[in-house]
Amino acid sequence: MAAHARVVTALGNHGLAVFEAVEGGRASEPFEIRFRRGVGRPLPGDRVALDRDRAVTEISPRHGLFGRGVRGQFRAMAANLDRLSVVIAPEPAPSRTLLYRYLAAARMFGIEPSIVINKNDISIPDRPPFSELDRLSVPIFRTRARAPALLDALPESLTGGIHLLAGQSGVGKTSLANALIPDLSAQTRMLSQTTGKGRHTTTSARLLQLPHGGWLVDTPGVWEYSLWKMTPEELARGFPELAEASRRCRFRNCLHRTEPGCEVQRAVRSDEMPEFLLAAWHALLDEQERLGAG
């Protein structure tokens, strides 16, 4: 009978996995697994079946596949994500485009988004995107990762499932991860020791166990988040707020720019929909045009 395990990191033709605890508690210590060419390469977060030699024989169906654009192509980095928490802070000033890229990508993949305003001991400026957050249908947490840490209800929101902290460099993602996972250093050290190839685990996405159940995807290193080539219809899945109004647009392929009979433009003019959402849609649509998407 095949054993089932959770992949915590994938390194070429092998990786690490754990046997998850039943009814909470800690998972097993990580152990090495091998990937078979005919089965495919698992991702961190995948549940897999293993044979007696701990080779992967099957990858379970996925939900919440998450990745980023690399030279216009989609590159998956983790599977079965349940929540994407976008971290912003007063310093450095957040990028509105980056924030809405993350939110759109989460929604396209069926992942629940949330926003974490970190460094909450610094005055929050009354300007975008901070002044826009109250009009988003997204949970918002206000945290301070610097000791003594104040984490709001963020730990409770990350109980169970698989979660990712995303955001630009300097907003305190690493400090937040350390506050959420007191033994984070010990876990990362164990992953490096188990593979004997620490240089790989410093750049590969990996799963770290949260204290009260669930996992946090760690993506070491600084990386910019870009989208990939997609159709306007695919991009529209990232903007559910526009969906209802857009169904009443005169033209089925309306891009909500200057087309006559555009219900989205009308909703913005009447303040039924915030103008910044339409601006975010246009910014990402312009990015797609630069990528040469059709």
pTM given for the model: 0.91
Domains along the chain? 3-59 (2.40.50), 66-218 (3.40.50.300), 232-291 (1.10.40.50)
pLDDT tens-digit readout, 58-112 = 999 999 999 999 989 999 999 999 999 999 999 999 999 999 999 999 999 999 9
Confidence of residue 201 (pLDDT cuts 50, 70, 90): very low
First to last CA, the chain: 47
List the structure tokens of 139: 């949970």
Looking at residue 26, its pLDDT comes to: 85
Q: How far apart are CA 201 and CA 115, in angstroms?
A: 27
